[in-house]
Amino acid sequence: MPVLEHLGELRRRVFVCVIAIGIGAVIAFAFSNQIIKFLVEYYTDATRGQTELPRKALVFTGPADAFLTRLKVATYGGVILALPVWLYELWRFITPGLNPKEKRYAIPFIISALVLFALGAFVAFQTLEPALKFLVSVGGEAQEPLFTSDKYLGLVLLMIIAFGLAFEFPVVLVFLLIAHVITTDQLRKARRWAIVAIVTFAAVITPSQDPYSLAFMAVPMYIFYESAILIGRIIKR
């Protein structure tokens, strides 16, 4: 396919993804208050005992901040709800360069990507409370926590997205193995560098920058790295 046709196809697929994200955002906006209320519970648990003031809700400092926060929650929600669509569109854009044997991995690719993203989001929630407690306590007694809704929810939503995308790591590796871009021998030889790269990546991408989030992300990513090597060897057979 000529370059211009490739660009035209890419534009069409991006347009479909944008529409899907927009529809997902509308749905997420309708439930944004419930989502915010659910996420506030982690804030309440993390700050319990850290201050003498009761913490039942987040605060906002500008007239439009509450509405803009709901829009932010809706946008992130739209990206997550549209995940099956843009994964499918990504695969359809890539498949013309694969042979029929490699194309059969389309359904496993999409399903595994969805499951791993959900697993990453679950781990993000598990690490959220200890991460918040660490961030609150590290300020010492001279500083009292009073989170604004924009910054707190932005942090939580970024953590969910970051963990979800990080857990796609084995899918990317397996795809590169299928496409013969890399080999299992190269992955085995690069183990030491992979550990350094994974820890560095986890330290940079985790929005909270706390040791708990780093460990909860880096350890599974290295397990996924070894799993990709094993899966690659099975596929070669």
The total of structural domains in the chain comes to 1
DSSP per residue, 99-156? -HHHHTTHHHHHHHHHHHHHHHHHHHHHHHHHHHHHHHHTT-TT-----BHHHHHHHH
Of the listed ranges 133-137, 151-155, 159-163, 196-200, the one predicted with least confidence: 133-137
Instruction: Please name the residue that has the structure tokens 């991006």.
Output: 14
Q: How confident is the model at residue 51 (pLDDT cuts 50, 70, 90)?
A: low
The answer to whether 47 and 145 are in contact (CB under 8 A) is yes
User: In the prediction, which pLDDT does 102 show?
Assistant: 60
- For residue 148, the cross-strand partners are 59
Q: What would the pLDDT profile of 195-230 be if each residue is shown by its tens digit?
A: 899 998 888 888 767 787 888 888 888 998 888 888
Determine the angle formed by the axes of helices 106-137 and 169-178, rounding to 10 degrees. 150
Return the closest-CA partner of residue 103 out of 16, 178, 169, 174.
178
What span, in angstroms and rounded, lies between the C-alpha atoms of 32 and 85?
21
Asked if the model's pLDDT at residue 106 lies above 80, the reply is: no
Question: 114 is written with which tokens?
Answer: 């969805």
Q: Work out the end-to-end distance of the chain between its first and last CA atoms, rounded to an integer number of angstroms.
A: 32
78-85 mean pLDDT: 90
Q: How confident is the model at residue 168 (pLDDT cuts 50, 70, 90)?
A: confident
- Of residues 92 and 27, the one with the higher pLDDT is 27
Range of the domain at 112: 3-236
Of the listed ranges 65-69, 90-94, 129-133, 149-153, the one predicted with least confidence: 90-94
